[in-house]
Amino acid sequence: MKDLADEKITMELLHREGLARIGRFQTPHGYVDTPNIMPVINPNIRTLSIEKMKRMGMQCLITNSYIIRRSPELREKALKDGLHSLVGFDGPIMTDSGTFQSYVYGDVEFKNRDTVQFQIDIKSDISTILDIFSTPDNTYEEAENAVNETKNRLMEVQDIAEHANISGPIQGSIYMDLRRKSARIMSDSPASYLPIGGVVPLLEQYRYGELVDIIINSKLNSDFSKPIHLFGGGHPMFMSMAVLLGVDMFDSASYVKYAKDDRMLFPEGTRDLSEIVELPIWSPLYDKYNARELKSLGKEERKEALAEHNLFAIYMELGEIRERIREQTLWQYVESKARSHPSLMVAFKKILTYSGKIERYTELYRK
């Protein structure tokens, strides 16, 4: 395989509409067409087979190096045979660091530099530092500390980042000056991949208006040659808006999480399986079951079926978004979607307040 240094990610642009863009970036294990999603794979629990996910169009995935490192069995296999062999996928794989686990469960047991080194050792295509998760209810001081400590942690692995793809999360909670500062720090650093972090609570609470502020302030202060990823942002309802504001990549565990709770993803929202009378004709389940049969499946089988439906809904939406950018009708698409949920309408009105800024890029970016 080529030296990792030859494979530092930079965006190659193919089409643009405002800040939205269709592009491609290379990794040591192949390229990714953007906008795109990395489904979250738990190395311990396989809900869908990699083959099935590839048939749906999966080009890349994300898994958690913290989970791998904590399990002696997974750790040994990953160090011996590599991450790609462990997961059973030879395309681009990004690894997360355990930051989210430390946010959910408290402190994690590993340190930043060895967390990154472990990801390099198992041949991750994009490795993530142990950033500090800034939550929406942080005080200004807490959020500022998160931004500064995340910067220190990136600096601590600067030498590694010169030769490998390091993901440098943009933090800063709901404070826009901090988001702008964090975006500039990460853009000027050797990190080649920029996720917007600390937004899962906002996504879960449908606080899309605040997300618009965060995304646009992060994006406009970022190096446009580095892909922007929205951590946890893979709900089909919000993806088109995020792309309109310049997000290139998403990840999602929601296709499984919702499936576990008997919930189904649709382009405009989520429905409980119990409420469904007719399955949509586009669903990959349509030819296999009717709604009644689906409800009567055993728990595990039902979870797998719903996860397949949910991931398919995400890929279907991404295909539509890319097509809209090619035809330069993403604005109209986002506007029509805004009518499907009050929080999306709030977010759309927020986007309009930035339209002057966004239009500047429309002129610059004509095909």
**Contacts to ligand GUN by CB under 6 A:** 96-97, 99-100, 128, 131, 133, 169, 197-198, 200, 231-232
Residue 20 · residue 333 · CB < 8 Å: no
- The least CB distance from residue 131 to ligand GUN, in Å, is 5
- The least CB distance from residue 110 to ligand GUN, in Å, is 13
Please choose, from the candidates 18, 57, 37, the residue with its C-alpha nearest in 3D space to the C-alpha of residue 249.
Answer: 37
SS3 content of the chain, % helix, strand, coil (to 5): 50, 15, 35
CB of 200 or CB of 244, closer to ligand GUN? 200
End-to-end CA distance of the chain: 35
Residues 6+ positions from 281 with CB-CB distance below 8 Å? none
- The least CB distance from residue 136 to ligand GUN, in Å, is 12
* CB-count exposure of residue 24 (10 Å: 0-12, 13-18, 19+): middle
Residues 6+ positions from 92 with CB-CB distance below 8 Å? 27, 28, 29, 30, 31, 32, 59, 60, 61, 125, 126
Residue 160 · residue 117 · CB < 8 Å: yes
At residue 58, what are phi and psi to the nearest 5 degrees? Answer: -65, 125
Catalytic residue selected from 81, 96, 251, 272: 96
- The least CB distance from residue 304 to ligand GUN, in Å, is 24
CB of 118 or CB of 361, closer to ligand GUN? 118
CB of 110 or CB of 266, closer to ligand GUN? 110
Report the 10 Å Cβ neighbour count for 131.
30
CB of 232 or CB of 246, closer to ligand GUN? 232
248 is catalytic: no
CB of 39 or CB of 198, closer to ligand GUN? 198
Question: What is the sign, positive or negative, of the torsion defined by CA atoms of 256, 261, 266, 269?
Answer: negative
Largest CA-CA distance found in the chain, in angstroms, rounded: 57
CB of 22 or CB of 147, closer to ligand GUN? 147
Tell me which residue has its CB nearest to ligand GUN: 197
Q: From CA 167, how far away is CA 127, in angstroms rounded?
A: 6
Please choose, from the candidates 96, 83, 88, 92, the residue with its C-alpha nearest in 3D space to the C-alpha of residue 33.
Answer: 92
Residue 103 · residue 71 · CB < 8 Å: no
Q: Which residues are catalytic?
A: 96
